[in-house]
Amino acid sequence: MDRLLPWLRLQLTPGLGRVGLMHLIEHFKTPEQALDAAGRGWPRLPGLRENLAAMVPEASFPRVQSACSCLDSMGGWMLSFWDPDYPQILRQIPDPPVLLYGCGSLPEGPALAIVGTRHPTDFGRVFTEQLAEELAVAGVVVISGLARGIDAAAHRGTLNGGGRTLAVLGCGIDRIYPAENRRLYQQIIEQGALLSEYPPGTEPLPGHFPGRNRIISGLSKATLVIEASRDSGSLITAEFALEQGREVIAVPGGVDHQTSYGPNLLIKQGAHPITEAQEILEILGIGKHDNKPPELAQPSLFQLPEPAGSVLNKLDLTPRHCDELAGESGLTPMELSAILLQLELHGYADKLPGGRYIRGRRPH
Amino acid sequence: MDRLLPWLRLQLTPGLGRVGLMHLIEHFKTPEQALDAAGRGWPRLPGLRENLAAMVPEASFPRVQSACSCLDSMGGWMLSFWDPDYPQILRQIPDPPVLLYGCGSLPEGPALAIVGTRHPTDFGRVFTEQLAEELAVAGVVVISGLARGIDAAAHRGTLNGGGRTLAVLGCGIDRIYPAENRRLYQQIIEQGALLSEYPPGTEPLPGHFPGRNRIISGLSKATLVIEASRDSGSLITAEFALEQGREVIAVPGGVDHQTSYGPNLLIKQGAHPITEAQEILEILGIGKHDNKPPELAQPSLFQLPEPAGSVLNKLDLTPRHCDELAGESGLTPMELSAILLQLELHGYADKLPGGRYIRGRRPH
């Protein structure tokens, strides 16, 4: 924590931004030496206003103290741009964070950002989870922003696949935002890491999210956009990815869904269109090309006698309500629900909220 | 009808196909002279079996007579490849029809093929109708195959927009197939034309449809695929369009619909993804160009020279087999074929039979 204090005093100096801090350290080599020099005033450097040195808070300043003790109590850590453990891929972006606060252990390996709307369709959510799970199994590190919707589904799918995931926040890593992702937040610390360029205690202000997005894309070889309406922040992430010379990947969507606007726009602009995990592995340059992911679970008409086979035949990736299935199959709701449960247990069907079902991807 | 009779006698000669008929007329200049020579036997020409001349039916042969009187009673017409009114754009395809039977008047102007599944979603049907109507208003001639589903919606939308539409049939133009399109069939004659390379009286045999598809794409500057499942004939039309050096356009669709498979596949292979009529007008080179969607600096194939650049460098006018190119470039066959397809789509490479490639003559 002794190491942390001078960094926090500099970062929490009002009016000292990323560019000024970067130049200050390039000039003085260490934060301690920059602080020592503050009494005499700092030289003219890009991003440093005149008399800024007078604004440096004391070590006893409450915000400095609380950020310090908060990180300590969480078991968190801080990396500076000059630290050998600072992610190499992030050093290459035009505007790398000077400081990264984290909790958990930074996963290594090829990383994919998965981002999208906070209001996905049921299909989009399930598709994201399944895709992230397949990618996790193939060894991909999945990076996202812990927002509700596609972000949460991407983290959740990765965790389900036993994979490693990294959540980049637009607030301090001590803030659980949105609160509904509390459980996910805990699991991510255990199976990956939380990361933020904002010191602990920072609120999730709207202005923080574009900066957060550049870190998400900047840590990733490619950014995948799944469902994003016209004003989705994930389109900003995709633009950062392009600026950073990274690949952009998008899942095409039906013209009749607002959430298809973003991915379809990106595809028109040259993003890779993909519909399967295998295609992403190829873009990332990993995985065996002959090791195709399993197709939709086929009714091998194994142990399940009729009418289970014909119920399964009515299922594809368009959610169907069980009442509708009951009507069509001529089964009583009780008979049908027993069959659907069997199909679900064997991985042939997935249950969605509201009593709807789709075909499962993978028999387990 | 005097003009028609010798053509029909030749075309209805059992065993005389398109290639043989083409060479016969190139050799004898007129069908009358080819018939006159039949008594002495025909010379050895490509596509002509020995003793084929003996198979020429008499002018009184019932099929010849009925095709003739059927065309007469419909007010139809016939064009041969050498006729000045034969569509110039169709002369340029590798295997142009020798004879075209038609009814109505052949519309002139920039033409777009709109094709797709016979079993569209409700959205797909409505989208197709609206799109075709907008294109019709902008002066585009819409060409399709009068099948049920997307084809019918494309014709209907064009007619609704007061536009001109052309239906290319896989049967004689006297056959209304499918029967449900009877009203559409009548309207198309009034507002455009029916067209077929098969003489009147020909049944809609399955084997006729691929040939019909090459005429649909061959008459069009671009082929648009809207909703097509894995086995849709419209994917064959799109392949013909590529072979013919025409543009391929597709409407992206949700991964949860079987009918999105075809368009999404085409987009992955390099087809133009579009969601609005205006984008099609731009591809066809009509309408306003100043409201283009902004291009992002996505590393597209031709901005990223490697490895596409080195594959292109291996191509000249000597045909090279793709296996040989794969060996030299160190790419997997899948990587190489994706690059070759891109090069082909952009006019930098031409594909020859047997998996061989040469450098393309004209980048479009």
Residue range A290-316, pLDDT digits in tens: 444 444 444 443 445 677 778 887 887
Predicted TM-score (pTM) of this structure = 0.75
pLDDT in tens, B276-335: 999 999 999 986 544 444 333 333 333 435 677 778 777 776 778 888 888 888 887 777
Task: Give the residue on A whose Cα is nearest the Cα of B274.
Answer: A268
Per-residue model confidence (pLDDT) at position A287: 66
According to DSSP, residue A53 is labeled G
Burial of A76 (0-12, 13-18, 19+ CB in 10 A): buried
SS3 B32: helix
Give me the residues of chain B with pLDDT under 70, please. 1, 287-306, 317, 345-347, 353-354, 360-364
Is the minimum CB–CB distance between B127 and chain A shorter than 8 Å?
Answer: yes
Mean per-residue pLDDT over chain A, rounded: 90
Largest CA distance in chain B: 68
SS3 A248: strand
Q: Is the ipTM of this complex over 0.85?
A: no
Is the minimum CB–CB distance between A251 and chain B shorter than 8 Å?
Answer: yes
- Indicate the pairing of strand A320-321 with strand A349-352: unpaired
Instruction: Give the whole-angstrom CA distance, residue B266 versus residue B95.
Output: 23
SS3 A7: helix
Q: Is the pLDDT of residue A107 over 70?
A: yes
Task: Give the residue on A whose Cα is nearest the Cα of B295.
Answer: A269
**Residue A358 Cα, gap to closest chain B Cα (Å):** 10
Query: Are A255 and B123 in contact (CB < 8 Å)?
Result: yes
Burial of B122 (0-12, 13-18, 19+ CB in 10 A): exposed
Torsion of CA A332, A334, A335, A339, to 10 degrees: 130
Instruction: Give the whole-angstrom CA distance, residue B103 versus residue B121.
Output: 31
Per-residue model confidence (pLDDT) at position A305: 60
Query: Are A252 and B257 in contact (CB < 8 Å)?
Result: no
- Could you give the C-alpha distances from B342 to A63, B267, B336, in angstroms and in order? 56, 11, 10
Q: Sheet of B165-168: strands edge to edge?
A: B77-80, B99-104, B192-196, B165-168, B141-144, B111-116, B222-226, B247-250, B272-273
**Residue B267 Cα, gap to closest chain A Cα (Å):** 7
Is the minimum CB–CB distance between A274 and chain B shorter than 8 Å?
Answer: yes
According to DSSP, residue B55 is labeled G
Per-residue model confidence (pLDDT) at position A350: 80
Query: Are B123 and A256 in contact (CB < 8 Å)?
Result: yes
Per-residue model confidence (pLDDT) at position B360: 67
Query: Are B296 and A127 in contact (CB < 8 Å)?
Result: no
Is the minimum CB–CB distance between B298 and chain A shorter than 8 Å?
Answer: yes
pLDDT in tens, A17-32: 999 999 999 999 999 9
Is the minimum CB–CB distance between A270 and chain B shorter than 8 Å?
Answer: yes
Is the minimum CB–CB distance between A314 and chain B shorter than 8 Å?
Answer: no
Per-residue model confidence (pLDDT) at position A154: 98
Mean pLDDT calculated for residue range A187-198: 97
- Could you give the C-alpha distances from B46 to A180, B19, B22, B261, in angstroms and in order? 75, 7, 9, 40
